[in-house]
Chain A
């Protein structure tokens, strides 16, 4: 990153990381209980991996290093009448923990708000500093 990291970089990048987290939560919730015809193609919950990036000790922002597929294995269900059922009459249902995802959603929304607050405070203080002596 060119030049030293300022608070706008710190809070701004943290906000985009939280937004990635909110996006993965939304796709997990949207795919909760979705059915697939094989274990391999069944949806698995997505999780972002956060990593801190910094240039000076104590001054660091956050980056999404990668998005991994996690969570439990898809659940096998015996539903012979289902159009996606395989030869044995089984389907695989995505194993998404909806309660955990909802908690995750609230948490990332709160942390996003915190970063917005930081940005607002810093903006006001920077403008006040610019007006110093006028």
Chain B
């Protein structure tokens, strides 16, 4: 972890957390019709804050996971609201891609420095 942090900075942890958040949001969308399913989400800012203070990304994600509060509770106890989940999924996908772009930039810089041209 320490090596990864010095090479890629905060972006290594950010990518792992975004990936975990993506599976959580995908689970919410998958369970949109399951009675009694409670939607969960990762508070990304909090998880990244924990990860930057040396907590492993898995533990940081668990720590920052919380249940979603539905806007209108449904009768079958399901708290998935597709509009919310889809918006957050799209947002998270864009953020994942921007983290990838940051990493790509870092790799390009280091490659250039190693080649010395």
Contact = CB atoms under 8 A, between A and B. Distances in A.
Interface of A: 5-7, 10-11, 13-14, 17-18, 21, 50-52, 54, 57-62, 107-108, 110-111, 114-115, 117-118, 121-122, 125, 128-129, 132-133
A7 B29 CA distance: 11
Contacts of A6: 23
B26 A54 contact: no
Contact of A125 (B27, B93, B104): B93
B10 interface: no
Nearest to A14: B30
Given A10-B23, A118-B30, 18 more contacts: A6-B23, A10-B27, A14-B29, A50-B33, A52-B31, A54-B27, A58-B24, A58-B41, A58-B42, A60-B27, A62-B33, A114-B82, A115-B29, A115-B30, A118-B26, A125-B100, A132-B100, A133-B104
B55 interface: no
B111 to A, nearest CB: 8
A111 B104 CA distance: 34
Given A59-B24, A121-B93, A13 B33 contact: no
Contacts of B30: 10-11, 13-14, 60-62, 115, 118
Which applies to chain A's interface (DSSP): helix, strand, loop or mixed? helix
Contacts of A50: 31, 33-35
Interface of B: 15, 22-24, 26-27, 29-35, 37, 40-42, 62, 65, 82, 86, 89-90, 93, 96-97, 100, 103-104, 107, 111
Contacts of B62: 57
A125 B35 contact: no
Given A108-B33, A114-B86, A58 B27 contact: yes
Contacts of B33: 17-18, 21, 50, 62, 107-108, 111
Nearest to A60: B27
B100 A129 contact: yes
Contacts of A117: 86
A129 B15 CA distance: 10
A114 B29 contact: yes
A134 to B, nearest CB: 9
